[in-house]
Chain A
């Protein structure tokens, strides 16, 4: 399957292991990545806060570039990109006159966003369930992650608001991570924070509120017996992993639970090694997960 691939800024920046692991995993899932190298930032909610017409134009530009990739939908690997882009797409699709106006800003570059048809923009974990299928995934699993207890952390932008995230057509999108964890042989862990907010958007404005959120969800996952968390959002990863030592202070308890990027979990099940998947680049060491993987390989 061919996709117009938007990796997002953070996966090229502070979480390079996400971009790297996606590149490793995609061929194993028969996904051909056509990277959108000229596309711009989705705005991450911040540009939307500043100027709606600007953010709608910037994302229409990305969609227009993606639509030039023949026979391909668009794929992202970031919950925040997904949500920010879906918000713009909803406005663009809702009103023809508005869409024309936004397209007029793209004209000098020879670009145009077209509504309709089957063209969709999907996060990798949605695409995996809806377009590849869990049965096909199971067939590709080389190393079932038996005994690994994985707590899913979805990220707000792919679960709310359901009205513009395709839940009318795909009502179970907020359960897919659980299904995938199960499909790769691991055990999904239920805990209070799986669909809550990591707190990242206000890390520079109110660190206490931000890291209390991250810390609480990590603690809940630990108490529910998780070996690790997995998230399809690199911004959540920044707060849950990079900030975890600080989050621990704000919830006044030890944490120390590794947080995997979604493609890393897939990669482990598809037979790749933790190091190849960039797991050595996490702030919270993945040592115990690595050890479990070695045991599985030996078994």
Chain B
């Protein structure tokens, strides 16, 4: 047994008082969970502590909170680990999840944010034609690709951690976009292109994710929502060629083309190529994209003025000495009909490599 101090953020809207911190000392074995600690504090000291929970085994997804600032399931976080992560002299700081309004103490309004966003992506199958007599049959193989997004338990922990949503509450967000991929990747669904088009054109859709990895880091089920968002983008750009007005397509195409041509990033070319898809003169430019390009003129001017960027650098960029090799690699890989993707969630680590990893870990 050991003594743990839980510092809980308390808030009761009916009281008319502001939120406040309250410490509870619990004496428990260190391998027990933060949720166990909170429930003990509630049982022994203050029956008014509010927290949602049910299964206590990381299955139901009810007890999302922030422990020492990190979004987690309280039932899935050991007291001993939480103490190690403490930034306040060993006190375990427990707050409600972020990016959602607080109802009371550790309970947030999932309906107002999480579920609203999930509904936004039409989270059900939209098959076409007359329904079959019995169930829709699908190859087990064809569903492997979406198993990772199907592992989601809708706990909202990724929503809580999302750094893009922190500044843009309208962002559809990691959980809902991962759910969107679950149907985009389902061979039975007949509205793949419409779904992709919708999420690409939404100003707060798939191109509002900044690659910050916060959702990947916190997901208790290894859904890696950001990776699902990247899959949506890959399908939207490479397979469906959806030229969205957010410039997601343009940016990706310009970047990939620049590396093909020069081997390293020619930054001065990125913006005009992103917006003009190759050349400003030759191709049509989306009005929204043109506005962005004009908006970025002062930045370019600042770059020149500070001496960071010389006019020479804007105009000329040296190719790599072996650029033909980079181009050959592009041709070899992009010339194939199928894209090869290794998803470690699905394949795991191969056996012959595991032994080596263990040895490294024991040093």
Contacts and interface: CB of A to CB of B under 8 A. Distances in A.
Q: A and B from one assembly? A: yes
Interface of A: 9-10, 12-17, 37-41, 43-54, 56-58, 61, 83, 90-91, 93-98, 101, 105, 108-109, 115-116, 156-157, 160-162, 168-169, 196-197, 199-202, 204-210, 212-213, 216, 242-243, 245-246, 280-283
A17 to B, nearest CB: 7
Interface of B: 163-164, 166-168, 171, 203-204, 207-214, 216-217, 230, 233-234, 237-238, 246-248, 250-252, 255-256, 259, 263-268, 270-271, 274-275, 292, 295-296, 298-299, 302-303, 306-309, 313, 320-322, 325-326, 328-330, 332-334, 339-342, 344, 347-350, 352-353, 356, 360-361, 363
Contact of A204 (B214, B234, B247): B247
Contact of A47 (B250, B255, B328, B363): B255
B309 to A, nearest CB: 6
Contacts of A169: 360-361, 363
Contacts of B363: 169
A16 B234 contact: no
Contact of A209 (B171, B299, B333): B171
B307 A204 contact: no
A212 B230 contact: no
A281 B333 contact: no
A64 to B, nearest CB: 11
B167 A53 contact: no
A263 B21 CA distance: 41
A52 B340 contact: yes
Contacts of A13: 265-268, 313
Contacts of A10: 265, 267
Question: Mostly helix, strand, loop or mixed at chain A's interface?
Answer: helix
Contacts, number: 214
Nearest to A165: B213
Contact of B339 (A12, A47, A53, A205): A53
B336 to A, nearest CB: 9
Given A13-B313, A14-B308, A116-B356, A108 B325 contact: yes
Nearest to B302: A283
A226 B64 CA distance: 33
B299 A94 contact: no
Nearest to B323: A40
B174 to A, nearest CB: 13
Contact of A9 (B252, B265, B328): B265
A280 B332 CA distance: 44
Given A95-B342, A205-B208, A207-B295, A15 B333 contact: no
B213 A209 contact: no
